[in-house]
Amino acid sequence: MAEGMHSAEARRSSSTGHGSGHGHGHAVVVGGGYAGLVAARVLARRFDAVTVIEADRIDPGAGPAHRKGTPQSRHPHALLARGAEILERLFPGLRAELAAHGAPLSDFGCFPMLYPTGWSPRVTTGIPLQTFSRPLLDAAIRRRVLALPVVALADRTHVDGLVLDAGRRRVTGVRIRVRTAVGPAQPPSHRTLPADLVVIATGRHSRLPQWLTDAGLPAPAALSVDAGLSYASRVYRRDAAATDPDWQASLQATLAPAARRGGAVLAIEERRWLVCLFGADGEMAPTDPGGFAEYAASLTNPHIGQIVAAAQPLGPVHRYAGLGGQWHRYDRLRPWPGGLVVLGDALCSLNPLYGHGMTVAAMQAVLLGRELNSLDSEGDYRNFQRRAARTLRFPWLLTSSLDLGWRTEGVPLTAALSRRMLHRFLRRIPDDPTLYRRFLKVQHMTASPATLLIPSFVRRGEGSKGTRSKGTCSKGI
Ligand SMILES: Cc1cc2nc3c(=O)[nH]c(=O)nc-3n(C[C@H](O)[C@H](O)[C@H](O)COP(=O)(O)OP(=O)(O)OC[C@H]3O[C@@H](n4cnc5c(N)ncnc54)[C@H](O)[C@@H]3O)c2cc1C
């Protein structure tokens, strides 16, 4: 077994064919990032053994840390209401645990957002806003998943490809390359790890299309939309002596066709600010301190520049460019081998500005659990891939139709119409708290997009305009 194996190795017996215990044998999850861990949580209820394979070195005893395989952890991650609900169900007490580490919690409606059409109304919505660093979230989830008796982590272990049966109808394992522990450099060892189910959760740069073609199977078609988006982020100290502002987070959105610059500032655990400067359509915030501060000061939202000008930086600026969206249509691929599932960013990487990635990955993990309840003995997961594709329809339509606004030609009609509708909502939101609340529920995936099509919301000037019902925001962090 892999050198980096932690936790449940002694309890696990690798098997092919369904075993005893929970009944489904051995599941291998490739990728120990967010989606892989949430999937492992769900699989642990149904499989006798679950092995999470991760290329990076992970010390489960260590606290939150950045690592090479998840460079996005340097940047802000907002967890939408639907994702937060699912995580709380899968990991009871998670929200309180993050709060105990100093991750502030308030109402999403109290989060000032500046659109090119004006400021969002500051009203309570009942949608929680908890702000934390991505390493804090990952560490909390990882600790809970690795404590499950059937789960084992094989870190410093790289998957190089799939193993299929002779007829190429079923995946029976993965090819792994194991790096040795500390000490003199030794060549990695190669071997095969058998599995009854292989879950691919290898993130945005997943090699699954290549692994399928290496195995003699077709690769999926992919939909791509590139808004030329980049993030540049830096952490600052939130001075205990200074008065906290009356907001926990503040944002300026980029929006086609003209708003190329944006940014966000979030209060995160350990009394820190996480500041991120966005650039769209090829615009990029500089990574040198002077250029970063100038870019922040150039934004219309004053909160971001104020923090950058006044707070003490705690490290360098980190940039992540090339944030295009890509949806691999595995749901349409024929043949789809048995015993194989793909989810998370490996299935679809979305424009991160709209914050759907972690939520759809959680929804997909829950769907996988349901699918396992009715699975046939062939281990055919085509239904799962079809259902997983449904979780992506709304976020893909939202993000791609807005992002296609940077293009001047070749925009599909549905995308152009949705963009017109979204722009109409954005023009009305600054003056219409009721519409804003409903819009947020749709964006957070707790209400159907159809709720925005109620005639009074669609027709301009009717219905809810100006109704400042329920609470307004009084306090910040
Ligand atoms: C800049 C940025 C900001 C974002 N902001 C938000 C946000 O506000 N809200 C939100 O919900 N989402 C956000 N996202 C999206 C979110 O980060 C992803 O949706 C989420 O991380 C997906 O998890 P994943 O497990 O699929 O991928 P990852 O978290 O990227 O994990 C993939 C893992 O697979 C491992 N791996 C890869 N290949 C192999 C291999 N061959 N063998 C073994 N291990 C391998 C990697 O080391 C890594 O640990 C953002 C993304 C970016 C880039």
Predicted confidence (pLDDT) per residue in 150-159, tens digit:
999 999 999 9
Matching residue, tokens 């079923």: 170
Residues 162 and 203 in one domain: yes
8 A C-beta contact, residue 6 and residue 156: no
Residues 316 and 383 in one domain: no
In this predicted structure, what is the pLDDT of residue 186? Answer: 72
- Residue 88's alpha-carbon distances to 76, 79, 85, 92, in angstroms, are 20, 12, 5, 5
Is residue 368 in a domain? yes
Residue nearest atom 30 of ligand 1, based on CA coordinates: 203
More confident residue, 233 or 188: 233
Residues 176 and 275 in one domain: no
CA 36 – ligand 1 centroid, Å:
9
Rounded to 5 degrees, φ, ψ at 232 are: -135, 125
Say whether pLDDT at 223 is over 50. yes
Q: Which of 194, 189, 212, 164 is nearest to 346 (CA)?
A: 212
CB distance 78 to ligand 1 below 6 Å: yes
Residues 189 and 333 in one domain: yes
Q: H-helix or E-strand containing 331?
A: none
Is residue 186 in a domain? yes
Residues 28 and 147 in one domain: yes
CB distance 359 to ligand 1 below 6 Å: yes
CA 399 – ligand 1 centroid, Å:
18
Domain boundary among 299, 320, 341: 320
CB distance 31 to ligand 1 below 6 Å: yes
Check which CATH number belongs to the domain holding 149 and give it: 3.50.50.60
Residue among 108, 202, 274, 284 whose CB has most ligand 1 atoms within 8 A, to mutate:
202
Residues 211 and 242 in one domain: no
Q: Which of 219, 154, 156 is nearest to 193 (CA)?
A: 154
8 A C-beta contact, residue 83 and residue 359: yes
Give the span between the Cα atoms of 210 and 169, in whole angstroms: 17
How confident is the model over 401-444, as pLDDT tens digits? 999 999 988 888 999 999 999 999 999 999 999 999 999 999 99
How confident is the model over 299-355, as pLDDT tens digits? 999 999 999 999 999 999 999 999 999 999 999 999 999 999 999 999 999 999 999
CA 141 – ligand 1 centroid, Å:
14
Is residue 339 in a domain? yes
In this predicted structure, what is the pLDDT of residue 131? Answer: 98
Residue 331 identity: D
Cα angle: 441, vertex 91, 345; to 5 degrees: 65
Give the span between the Cα atoms of 148 and 143, in whole angstroms: 9
Enter the pTM of the model.
0.93
Could you please report the per-residue DSSP string of 221-276? Answer: PEEEE----EEEEEEEE--TTSPPPS-SEEEE--BTTTB-EEEEEEEETTTEEEEE
Locate 374 and state its tokens. Answer: 């009715």
Segments forming the whole domain that contains residue 204: 4-68+139-224+324-397
Residue among 54, 178, 268 whose CB has most ligand 1 atoms within 8 A, to mutate:
54
Is residue 308 in a domain? yes
Say whether pLDDT at 184 is over 80. no
Residue nearest atom 19 of ligand 1, based on CA coordinates: 357
In this predicted structure, what is the pLDDT of residue 462? Answer: 42
Q: Which of 201, 212, 220, 222 is nearest to 364 (CA)?
A: 201
Buried b (16+ CB within 10 A) or exposed e, 181-208: eeeeeeeeeeeebbbbbbbbbbbbebeb
Residues 376 and 241 in one domain: no
CB distance 2 to ligand 1 below 6 Å: no
CB distance 217 to ligand 1 below 6 Å: no
CB distance 4 to ligand 1 below 6 Å: no
Residues 346 and 384 in one domain: yes
Could you please report the per-residue DSSP string of 19-66? Answer: -STTTT-EEEEE--SHHHHHHHHHHTTT-SEEEEE-SS---TTS-S--
CB distance 345 to ligand 1 below 6 Å: yes
Residues 236 and 308 in one domain: yes
Q: Which of 155, 205, 196, 151 is nearest to 176 (CA)?
A: 155
